[in-house]
Amino acid sequence: MSQQPVIAVVGLGLLGGSICQTLTDLEFDAQIIGVSSPRSTQEALDIGIISQAYQYHEIGQVKVQADLILLCTPIQHIFSMMESLAQSSEPWKPGALVSDVGSTKLEICQKGWQLLGTDRFIGGHPMAGSEKNGLSARDNTLFESALWLLCPSEDQSDLVQGSLLEKVILTLGSRLHCVEAELHDQWLAQVSHLPQLLSSTLSSETFQSLPDSLSVAGPGFRDMSRLALSSYPMWESIFQTNSQQIIQSIQNYIEKLSQVKEIIQSGDWQSMDQLFDHASQGRQQVNIPQKGWSQNLIEVIVRVQDQKGMISKVVVPLTEAGLDIRDIQLLKIREGSGGTLSLSFSSIQQADQAVELLNQIGIQSQIRGII
């Protein structure tokens, strides 16, 4: 009988706890061990999502038995765990891999390759999370349909395919995509770190200079300032480990905003029209993957009436027909006039079937594309 592989999850917080919970619920064929503070490991043992517990200083005992070590702590602590693993005199299990879930990648990958070796460390970043933290916030649907970015170096291209790491990511329900670490940080600076800073700055500046205006703020301001509710500690290490790319994104934004100011000052409304047109085209590209992306979802757009129980009228027949809705979003609804629902399916056949079924029961729908 072949032995079960051993997966060590280091840092039993939101992400680490969710990984253990999901793999346990799905009865993934592996022994899951947890490395965290005594309080978290005891709780994880009590709820049965790990079978063995270790403290951070016992990482050597973990190194010797793990086939896969997933570092799920804050970024600065990921660095210290990589140092502890490198300093431990215990041998690695043959073929063992180490990965992480940190939100920035170049510094982490460089440190991982240098300390643990390019045959051992592959940086990762699941694009899933929430504003909550700690083990109690764990969620066994957190990674479902989420993109999980891996950043192998050039000489690591063979390490991912068929690995236990790949199996775990796919079992969690995520969509795996490989991207170079430097490009990851450039992209994330632009589409995650800059929006966070813009949202925080907008909210803070409005609160400071014109606080009474907040009482009339509508959905636009609410959408733009939602990220201002984020808690700070995780962001500090993101700013620390991706400062160059973030500064570049801020610089580009300042230049663009200056152009916008000049357009208004000069009354050049044709240029403003072009800007809005260009911006709208950009917005429509959100989540449309580039060539080479795998495991995409197919999005179906459904027009719904503003009536009680409308969402179940859409969802129930689809699930009864055995269709697997991988994601659902209410894009827009206005009282009295209905709205738009976005449903995602894992294959074009499922999406086609959903559209046919909905149209048969008089609910207008169409395939919008791949997301």
Residues lying near ligand NAP in the complex (CB under 6 A): 11-16, 36-37, 40, 72-75, 77, 101-103, 126, 129-130, 133-134, 234
Nearer to ligand NAP, 146 or 301 (CB): 146
Side-chain half-sphere CA neighbours of 364 within 13 A: 6
Least separation in angstroms between CB 348 and ligand NAP: 29
- CA distance readout (Å), 252 to 145, 226, 258, 286: 32, 23, 10, 19
Least separation in angstroms between CB 122 and ligand NAP: 15
Nearer to ligand NAP, 123 or 152 (CB): 123
Q: What is the C-alpha separation between 347 and 335, in angstroms, rounded?
A: 33
CB-based contacts of 135, cutoff 8 Å, min separation 6: 12, 13, 14, 16, 17, 36, 40, 43, 44
Least separation in angstroms between CB 279 and ligand NAP: 27
Nearer to ligand NAP, 10 or 304 (CB): 10
Least separation in angstroms between CB 121 and ligand NAP: 15
Least separation in angstroms between CB 262 and ligand NAP: 37
Nearer to ligand NAP, 22 or 103 (CB): 103
Least separation in angstroms between CB 193 and ligand NAP: 11
Least separation in angstroms between CB 238 and ligand NAP: 7
Nearer to ligand NAP, 243 or 347 (CB): 243
Nearer to ligand NAP, 37 or 259 (CB): 37
Least separation in angstroms between CB 50 and ligand NAP: 12
Nearer to ligand NAP, 16 or 123 (CB): 16
Nearer to ligand NAP, 238 or 363 (CB): 238
